[in-house]
Chains A and B, each alone.
Chain A
Amino acid sequence: MRRLEAHEIGAFLAAQRDKQTLRFITCGSVDDGKSTLIGRLLYESKSIFDDQLASLETESRRFGTQGANLDLALLVDGLQAEREQGITIDVAYRFFASEKRRFIVADTPGHEQYTRNMATGASTADLAILLVDARKGVLVQTRRHSRIVALMGIRHIVLAVNKMDLVDYDRATFARIVDDYRAFADGLGFATIEAIPVSGLSGANVMTKSVDTPWHAGPSLMDYLDTVDVGGARVLGPLRMPVQFVNRPNLDFRGYCGRIAEGEARVGAAVRVVPTGATSRIASILRGFEEVDVAHAGESVTVTLADEIDISRGDVLAAGEAPLESADQFEGRLLWLNEHAMTPGRQYLFKLATREATATITEIKYREDVDTGAHLSAKTLAMNEIARVTLSTSAPVAFESYAASRTLGAFILIDKLTFETVGAGVIEFALRRARNIHWQALEIGAASRSAQKQQKPRCIWFTGLSGSGKSTIANMLDKRLNADGRHTYLLDGDNVRHGLNRDLGFTEADRVENIRRVAEVAKLMVDAGLIVIVSFISPFRSERRMARELFAAGAFTEVFVDTPIEECERRDVKGLYALARQGKLKNFTGVDSPYEAPERPEAHVRTQETTTDAAIEQILAALT
């Protein structure tokens, strides 16, 4: 590479400025040679500096798998654990440029347990290079990755049949793999599939066409990446700008900051805020320090409006004549990312563009077999599984289908306790169901029923291990309240399981549904003016939280009946612990199913340190 001369710099800067950026991922099964291929692209495009080359030589001798030769995979396997184990465990981003384009590459993991990292790389890419080992052909992981790539909306595939040097550049082998793959990929919705025979190791067909494959009529990999058109005929849609931040330094300025997702913003144009429905006109647009008349999709701007209307983070500014829809019931596809399985009915945090809400998966319509695409029934969704689901959000959300907008059609789910990102999904359409079931306005309200009974209706929720003494204390409390002239009702776990919930077992999914139903029943009863005592093991924090959130503040009292498991097991009133220990009873709380103790119960009853009477007084004190 030579130094630029002073007079060339202007032209160089202009050329750089106009270069298109192509974001792509590489994926495929483990040992298909992804890291070596990217290492080859970096090496050949002169993106590797002298000192990096020097340390590559050192490390090739130490960890390399190529004998005396450079092991190019070591250039991209960034983390020490990977260098030592020789595998890629996390997505790595790499940058290189040709004369025509600049490239951002996400090198993604091949091992099954790291599929979620692959989805991460795919979510921002426009093209996927799918590697296949010429000796092995299309594998389960090839199909799995293709489905994830399709789910993430990538429409352009390069099928790189790698390690061609190991099959003597055999044309028939290549043709067979390409036919296999095309047969599989038909119906996944890819716009283009370009098959190229390559060798990351020898460099064949990577930068330039190889003499070893005279039968290959297509371009080299690099030539293809330089020229492929991933934009397609994208129509210019109407304005959509999710509001990120309201900038209000003083009373004279109120700017709405955001990145334009679709369309363009123009001074004077009518806008509508979704979902609030307020309307106004764009008064000014700031792009950085500069005031502009028009701004386009992809730009980060600050917009001021002609009218003072109430807009918050999470709202979407839309073209006045073509606002987008908002809804709280959706159908879409979900990829699960977490070790802890997804359970319908459980609440998660939901983020779509800049809007956050809580959401539950209401139904798994079917799970998709990643290998065959077959529709399978499923009650829960394990890590790396894909399903078609329906979901419901706690508030209306402005959205587009993912096919129409990658920004307004994609969402993530976040666990409410660990805050891990547990799911990634795309919206296909809104369900009209909820819209047609309107709330029936009732003439007699909760307030009048409460006044008639002269009591404050509430839910007192007992949680604790089996045998901890919940039922005993709950019964005593019920008697005491009844004696005081209160209108009460006791919902006991065992009794409800004989009737309303007799279709449910003890798997995690069934436990979640068990609690959901009981919480809803308790809510109806509280609405009717009763004091409801619920006595359920209710082992999971997230379901107890879900129950709590159904009630008004102050109308839910959590009582933790805290008895150590050794003591519960010693008592073993119903003989259940003995059965569980013998393995005759599955999913028994405290034995082979977890109990998550409350962190801040309103009443914490330590049964070994107190009497039943004292416990009742403690609970009554917590009610006021």
Chain B
Amino acid sequence: MNSLEAEAIEIIREAVAAARNPAMLYSIGKDSSVLLHLARKAFFPAPPPFPLLHVDTGWKFKAMYAHRDRMVAESGMKLISHINADGVAAGVGPFTHGSNYHTDVMKTQALKQALDARGYDVVFGGARRDEERSRAKERVFSFRAANHRWDPKAQRPELWNLYNTHVRPGETIRVFPISNWTELDIWQYIHVENIPIVPLYLSAERPVVQRGGQLLMVDDERFPIAAGEKVELRRVRFRTLGCWPLTAAVESDAASIEDVIAETFGARSSERQGRLIDNDQPGSMEKKKQEGYF
């Protein structure tokens, strides 16, 4: 645990030393919460010398927005919230346009817009290698061409803890300080360090609809309830957080971090299963990454 923390802090400092204009992608989830905590430790007693960048889709859980604003106030960091205005104008949403199109317009395109508009050269992300197979092969310092594309076959060799931080004109770097953490490490660290997280990670009675074998929470009135579907209160929690219509809940009684760890340790399904976008097509995460998804 200590060596993972020290390694992550080393990576964050190394990236900042090389960066002209860094930012931290902040998705409000548990991995982002850990990343923010590590960044604050890395530069204490100063606040981290970069802003938090939130790519908003307009479809995040209400509790996530509340948590975001609380953490911004607490950390003393600046928040840059970006939403794809074209997508909003076109009324793009997961119910009407499907998960693939919604994710592409409101996340992938929106992220590119935000990065281009602000000219960030180094962007921190909370991806971990244990999450998904294509992430297992990504470097800690991952380079993106001018169009934000990731070329898995042209990755620079990354030896020891000697990170090559030189970018060619137009290139940017995505930096993943918690690459070597597992889901269990994240929860343990949240527990030991007492890191605030969105309450949705803990079990409570919430209004849900059963659809396609998954439990979807009704976070606001935009949820189109189909004939034969009914909203019921169930004790659920979320193992991962994203857009609420695309993030399935799991039934659980784990109401504390300790309970979550007990449940995670005994878990028999991987955390990204609740993310509907991964299962659209085989190898779908790798394709999204090549197109510029984080």
Query: Do B13 and A300 have beta carbons less than 8 Å apart?
Result: yes
Query: Do A420 and B156 have beta carbons less than 8 Å apart?
Result: yes
- Indicate which residue in A51, A59, A95, A411 contacts B182 across the interface (CB closer than 8 Å): A95
Query: Do B159 and A123 have beta carbons less than 8 Å apart?
Result: yes
Distance in Å from the Cβ of B35 to the closest Cβ of chain A?
A: 14
Query: Do B262 and A299 have beta carbons less than 8 Å apart?
Result: no
Contact with B along A412-448 (1 / 0, CB 8 A): 1010001111001000000000000000000000000
In whole angstroms, what is the CA distance A300 to B11 when docked? Answer: 10
**Interface residues of B, CB < 8 Å — how many?**
63
Distance in Å from the Cβ of B254 to the closest Cβ of chain A?
A: 10
Residues in B with CB closer than 8 Å to A298 are 2-3, 6
- Indicate which residue in A9, A49, A412 contacts B159 across the interface (CB closer than 8 Å): A412
Query: Do B158 and A120 have beta carbons less than 8 Å apart?
Result: yes
- Indicate which residue in B9, B13, B267 contacts A49 across the interface (CB closer than 8 Å): B267
Contact with B along A263-289 (1 / 0, CB 8 A): 000000000000000000000001011
A484 at the interface (CB under 8 A from B): no
Residues in B with CB closer than 8 Å to A258 are 13
In whole angstroms, what is the CA distance A420 to B239 when docked? Answer: 38
A12 at the interface (CB under 8 A from B): yes
Contact with A along B245-272 (1 / 0, CB 8 A): 0000000000000110111011111100
Query: Do B14 and A299 have beta carbons less than 8 Å apart?
Result: no
In whole angstroms, what is the CA distance A4 to B47 when docked? Answer: 38
Given known A6-B262, A412-B162, contact A93–B136 (CB-CB < 8 A) = yes
Chain A contact patch, size range: 35 or more
Please name the residue on chain A nearest to B156 by beta carbon: A421
Please name the residue on chain A nearest to B182 by beta carbon: A95
Given known A78-B133, A298-B6, A300-B13, contact A3–B45 (CB-CB < 8 A) = no
**Looking at A9, A59, A286, A337, which has the most chain B CB atoms within 10 Å of its CB?**
A9
Q: Which of B22-30, B118-126, B164-172, B224-232 forms contacts with chain A?
A: B164-172
Q: Which of B36-44, B85-93, B215-223 forms contacts with chain A?
A: B36-44
Please name the residue on chain A nearest to B184 by beta carbon: A16
- Indicate which residue in B3, B10, B42, B259 contacts A21 across the interface (CB closer than 8 Å): B3
In whole angstroms, what is the CA distance A116 to B156 when docked? Answer: 9
In whole angstroms, what is the CA distance A76 to B136 when docked? Answer: 9
Please name the residue on chain B nearest to A48 by beta carbon: B270
Query: Do B6 and A300 have beta carbons less than 8 Å apart?
Result: yes
Distance in Å from the Cβ of A241 to the closest Cβ of chain B?
A: 11
Enumerate A7-30 residues with CB–CB distance to B below 8 Å.
Answer: 8-9, 12-13, 16-17, 21
Given known A79-B134, A253-B45, A421-B159, contact A4–B268 (CB-CB < 8 A) = no
- Indicate which residue in B3, B44, B46, B134 contacts A288 across the interface (CB closer than 8 Å): B44
A302 at the interface (CB under 8 A from B): yes
Query: Do A419 and B268 have beta carbons less than 8 Å apart?
Result: no
Contact with B along A568-586 (1 / 0, CB 8 A): 0000000000000000000
B104 at the interface (CB under 8 A from A): no
- Indicate which residue in B1, B42, B269 contacts A300 across the interface (CB closer than 8 Å): B42
A501 at the interface (CB under 8 A from B): no
Query: Do A120 and B45 have beta carbons less than 8 Å apart?
Result: no
A208 at the interface (CB under 8 A from B): no
In whole angstroms, what is the CA distance A546 to B44 when docked? Answer: 41
Query: Do A93 and B129 have beta carbons less than 8 Å apart?
Result: yes
Residues in A with CB closer than 8 Å to B136 are 76, 78, 92-94
Contact with B along A106-135 (1 / 0, CB 8 A): 000000000011011001100000000000
Which 4 A-B pairs have CB atoms at the shortest separation, nearest pair first?
A249-B46, A78-B133, A288-B41, A49-B270
Provide 15 A-B residue pairs closer than 8 Å at the C-beta atoms, listed in order of the A residue: A3-B266, A13-B191, A21-B3, A49-B270, A49-B273, A78-B134, A78-B136, A245-B16, A249-B47, A253-B46, A257-B42, A298-B6, A300-B7, A412-B159, A420-B164
